[in-house]
Amino acid sequence: MQSARIGVLMIFTNAFTVRAAFGGAVGVTILTTIQKGVGRGVFSNEAGLGSAPMAHAATSETDPVKQGIYGIFEVFVDTMIICSLTAFVLLTSAARGGITPDWGGEGGTDLISAAFGSVIGNKPGALVIAAAILLFALSTVLSWSLYGTRCFEYLFGTKLSIVYKILFIAAVVVGSTLSMQLVWDIADTLNGFMAIPNLIALLALSGTVTKVTKDFTDWKRKKPSANDGKGSK
């Protein structure tokens, strides 16, 4: 009984210390960084979701390793270059006093529009962002519609694909009326449902991926170059 009271007392005394507060703050920071960073990164490049292979499978390339490298390059350009350029626009605009971001808060299209507007004018900046969002959103909706239709046809047949198309259009209409935070939460949750089985499959196929990649790199090393005497014959 005495040890139980001491244990409860230790919980309360140690829970309100500077060390505990610092540990909680670090934990929340890491959790938020992973949640926001990974969630937005996956939403941007679809890495690990298993959706991009449906587009890559339609290529004329016959070597799976080459096509896989194209997919890796696609993720690099999309996230590391394009998204970084957006970040640099915000940072440089904030550095020159064009905008005053709420550091640590939620950013949005209004902030990016203001960053562009600080250089080219508010109206042109808003038009640039509106046109970019229109094109990116339209291409995303069309591509995901194709992905979903192909999956639905595989599961239920071509004749019933009209059911999915109707549901998809209805989801687009309903989604445009919801709050932005709710849309992001739904998207992150559904992306998680997609990623879990796909990551399990990737883990199961990792041995095959390693083998074909090794065979490809070995072949590239042994392949005669264009300037080699044998290669020129």
For residue range 182-198, what is the model confidence (pLDDT) as tens digits? 887 888 788 888 888 88
The answer to whether residues 134 and 80 belong to one domain is no
Instruction: Let me know: does 48 contact 202? Beta carbons within 8 Å.
Output: yes
The answer to whether residues 106 and 66 belong to one domain is yes
Which pLDDT band, with edges at 50, 70 and 90, does 231 fall under?
very low
Number of structural domains found in the chain: 3
Instruction: Let me know: does 116 contact 133? Beta carbons within 8 Å.
Output: no
Spatial CA neighbour of 69 closest among 79, 56, 86: 56
pLDDT tens digit sequence for 52-88: 788 787 788 888 888 888 888 888 888 788 888 888 8
Question: Is residue 3 assigned to a domain?
Answer: no
CA angle 180, 186, 190 (to 5 degrees): 145
The answer to whether residues 132 and 111 belong to one domain is no
Range of the domain at 87: 58-120
The answer to whether residues 62 and 93 belong to one domain is yes
Which segment of 3-7, 27-31, 129-133 scores lowest on mean pLDDT? Answer: 3-7
Instruction: Compute the distance between CA of residue 154 and CA of residue 160 in angstroms, rounded to an integer.
Output: 10
Question: Is residue 201 assigned to a domain?
Answer: yes
Instruction: Kindly state the percentage of the chain with pLDDT values over 70.
Output: 85
Question: Is residue 114 assigned to a domain?
Answer: yes
Q: Is the pLDDT of residue 233 over 50?
A: no
Tokens linked to 5: 């009271």
User: Quick one: CA torsion of 104, 114, 140, 77, rounded to 10 degrees?
Assistant: -70
Q: Is the pLDDT of residue 21 over 80?
A: no
Instruction: Kindly state the percentage of the chain with pLDDT values over 90.
Output: 4
Question: Is residue 88 assigned to a domain?
Answer: yes
